[in-house]
Chain A
Amino acid sequence: MRRSGIHRWLAALFALALLAGACGGDDGGTDEVGAGDTETDGDTGDAPVPEEGEGEPQPGGTLIVAATSDGDTLDPHASASFNVHNRVGLASSRLLKPDLSAEYEYGEAPLTGDLAEEWEVSDDLLTYTFHLRDDVVWHDMAPVNGRPFVADDVVATFERILDEGFQAYMLENVTSIEAPDEHTVVITLSQPFAPLLNYMGNHHMWIMPREGVEGEYDVSTQVIGTGPFMLTEWDRGVTTVYEKNPDYFEEGVPYLDGVEMPVVPDQGARTAAFRAGETHIITAVNPEETASLLAAVPDARHLQYIGTAPLIMYVNMEQEPFNDLRVRRAMSMAVDREGLGDALYGSGHYTGPVNAHVKAFALPEDELAELMPYDVEAAKQLLADAGYPDGFSTTLMTTAGYGPRIVNGAEWVVEDLAAIGIDAEIEVVDYATYIGQRWANVEYEMAVGLQTPFQEADEWLRAQHHSDGSRNWWNINDPELDTMLDEQAATVDEDERISLIQDIQRYIVEEVSNPMQLWIGDTEIILGPTVRNYLSQPQYGTNHYAYVWLEE
């Protein structure tokens, strides 16, 4: 069989990846938060319960984590990149955040208070009131100089977002943001907006002081926040250095004296640095490297989390023959997802229109496996019914910008499609052309790539599948689907929304079949022998470093 050939190819290419360096998604991430109790959460202000078997917390030490690349700016409203938000997030806080206690599985953490202590939603679902902590001060850095954090800072930040932030869509339907007193923020909506609370805990929603909003210091090169660490040095492309925030509002943390994130762009160099003990944590490793690193560093620990950026195959629905649902279903059925996942990632899961790490909203894996069968005969039949008994020829676009693994995925797809008579020729384009031109402007016939690790179900569904959706980069235009998508966005009741969202996903897989989710591989992280209490959730911001300690 050809498969074993591919296997050998993959092994060779993984070895090559060592040389070429892989593309980035650091600590992966996204956070989906079950959230949404209209009543308060209460009880905040204590560090999450440490994991069992981790021993007693030990203060001190500097955690060194090699970053794959650097951000271009530290302005959290100018870029959505994980590079920016990982760096800003360690020094900042949000109104809400995922609860990092060890009891919650990865991807299942509910929302808890960060800067907000309690919050209520009015009966008409149009007014959200956040009661803020009164014991928070900004980092002691000019020009803010450690003054107390107040509601006006939240108002200033959100107004800046509405004015110029890429994340303005997270404040959809918001008509006013007010601060009736120093520790209360009231957000008023024109119509109910179900994702709002989740967005308040989103890893793009860091609160900055009014001084920053008004330009008293340069927010593109400096971070002043209320987070567990203070960003003391940002040398772009070289390193980011943090010191412990002695005035952090959570008792007893952070344990570390500091954090450093030197930029080490090359995967081989990151591996070498971890082996030599220069860094404590290595992310974005593939299974082969994991095995060799675990053998080389005896007490290192291996963590495996569900990934956040699924592998997708997609087609331009305005072009023949892809405008025919039968053709799209046939293509989806032609792909051996389990074989692909095993060969490419050696791990992972089926995933649906809402990626599997958003556990509250995603469809169960069993159901997805049924919805996405591997059935070559049925696929051939569907193609014949659509008028293509002998298949057709097409061009499959992909990019090397995500690393060699994705190109291998495209090669796998080509072979599977050939089995039903579709002759696809691969066109590899550079990443900037891929994402900045061809994908965004729907200038392709079909393609294989990764989807961005979004957090909220609305980003996975309405943005990508609504005829007006900002990420509808596949020409979907289905009025029935539009209605369903609008309805879930206005349905605040958690259970009701989950049920609507799951129905939408079934509809998308069966009646739209585009983009077609192929697989979600696992994210592999290796912790050095001294790293303790690593409480990760799928989100940018790395604020779980607040609870990490280093064993002597």
Chain B
Amino acid sequence: MLRLFVRRILYGFLILNLMTVLLFVLVRLVPGDAVAIQLADAAVSEERIAELTAEFGLDVPIHSQLVDWYSGAITGDFGTSFSTGQSVASMVFGRLPLTLILTGLSVAIAIVLGIGAGVTSAIRRNGWVDNVVRFLSVLSLSLPNFWLGLMLLTITSVVWKWVPPLGWEGFVESPWTSIQQLFMPALALGASLGASIARLTRSSLLEVLGSDFIRTVRAKGAPERVVLYKHALRNSLIPVITLIGIQIGALLGGTVILESIFSLPGLGREVFGALNRRDYPVLQMGAILYGAIFIVVNIAVDLSYGLVNPRMRVRANGGTS
């Protein structure tokens, strides 16, 4: 188990570095530079453009820029934003909690709704509840999350003359306001994951319920509750966990647009803005964070198999390396 863990961490670190270098070069190859964009609204002189280019360190070759960046990053200095002049670390880390909370909340909503609906649907197989759940899950899978978000917002504004309060104050500072602000985007973001979970839980549960060991458990006279929750559900959750692990990446992508629709100052909006301004240092830091989150989630998913299914623990320790 420990060996698996350490190996995963090392791989993750390697991948993160490869990604860093690749991104560093790629963003600089994309046309359009930060200086020209920043000064685009004015009739500004050539000298001023040259001055700013030097100030941003963009007048040296890419490999020297990369060396500069790494020597700063090692000491924890990730540079200064071209557009705000603020430290990149403070800008990006300040935006991170909101995005994590939003993603976490949407995963939580998806799990509660998805597993609940999936289990109900499997038990009442082919009944009307099953049909409703199946219809709703196909529907939520087909609706893009931004459309759903905008519809929620428009409907509440038309019907109840209500929209979530404007202006993010921070989750710790004003939790009630934050929950009002986060609920709709989290629902919109989690809807399609919830639908996938429901469908997968249903089919996986039905498959397990039809297997031999369940018949054995039933034959031993276990009550239906125990059959369902202790034996069947637990076994059918493994593919669901894999699904959640894979989908978290998509959810993080979705936060970018939902943060814009719901006026939330999260990491997604910050990084998207940085991309549009070609603010390389912010872009770099943001992408590293996204990459790190993705890697951590994947490691966590791998490890969680062990929690759900003891056989995996044995296999990992058995050293099949």
Contacts and interface: CB of A to CB of B under 8 A. Distances in A.
A77 to B, nearest CB: 11
B260 A265 contact: yes
A64 interface: yes
Contacts, number: 158
Nearest to B34: A436
A316 B283 CA distance: 33
Interface stretch (B17-25, B36-44, B60-68, B290-298): B36-44
Interface stretch (A132-140, A185-193, A267-275, A353-361): A267-275
A168 B39 contact: no
B270 interface: yes
Q: Which of B39, B42, B263, B278 has the most CB of A within 10 A?
A: B42
Interface string B27-66: 0001111111111111111101000000000000000000
Given A262-B167, A266-B260, A433-B31, A276 B150 contact: no
A129 interface: no
A433 B168 CA distance: 31
A264 B36 contact: no
B13 interface: no
B153 A73 contact: no
Interface in B132-146: 146
B158 A81 contact: no
Interface in A210-269: 220-221, 235-239, 260, 262-266, 268-269
A269 B153 contact: yes
B269 interface: yes
Interface in A154-171: 164, 166-169
Interface in B164-178: 165-168
Contact of A237 (B40, B44, B45, B265): B265
Interface in B73-120: 81, 83-86
A269 B261 contact: yes
A186 B84 CA distance: 34
Question: Interface range on chain A: under 10, 10 to 19, 20 to 34, or 35 or more?
Answer: 35 or more
B276 A275 contact: no
A470 interface: yes
Interface of B: 30-46, 48, 81, 83-86, 146-147, 150, 153-154, 156-158, 161-163, 165-168, 260-263, 265, 269-270, 273, 275-278
A194 to B, nearest CB: 16
A548 interface: no
Contacts of A73: 83-85
Contacts of B81: 72
B38 A79 contact: yes
A141 interface: no
A260 B166 CA distance: 10
Contacts of A440: 36, 40
A276 B157 contact: yes
A429 B33 CA distance: 14
A272 B153 contact: yes
24 contacts: A19-B147, A19-B150, A75-B85, A166-B39, A167-B42, A220-B84, A235-B265, A236-B84, A239-B166, A263-B263, A263-B265, A265-B269, A268-B150, A271-B154, A272-B154, A272-B156, A272-B163, A273-B163, A278-B166, A433-B31, A437-B33, A452-B42, A469-B43, A471-B43
Contact of B44 (A272, A276, A435, A470): A470
A278 to B, nearest CB: 6
A143 interface: no
Q: Which of A18, A271, A429 has the most CB of B within 10 A?
A: A271
A263 B46 CA distance: 33
Contacts of A364: none
B146 A19 contact: yes
Contacts of B275: 432
A333 B262 CA distance: 45
Contact of B31 (A168, A438, A463): A438
Q: Which of A18, A82, A236 has the most CB of B within 10 A?
A: A236
A296 interface: yes
A265 B40 contact: no
Contacts of B166: 64, 66, 239, 262, 264, 273, 278-279
Contacts of A148: none
Interface in A52-110: 64, 66, 72-73, 75, 78-82
Contact of A275 (B30, B39, B158): B158
A459 interface: yes
Given A432-B276, A437-B32, A275 B157 contact: yes
A79 B44 CA distance: 11
Contacts of A463: 43
Contacts of B41: 79-82, 452
B265 A238 contact: yes
Interface string A270-290: 011101111100000000000
Interface in A347-370: none
Contacts of A269: 150, 153, 163, 261-263
A146 interface: no
A431 interface: yes
Q: List 8 tightest A-B contacts by C-beta distance, closest first.
A: A436-B32, A272-B157, A80-B41, A80-B42, A72-B83, A463-B43, A432-B32, A436-B36
Nearest to A82: B41
A80 B39 contact: yes
Contact of A436 (B40, B150, B162, B163): B40
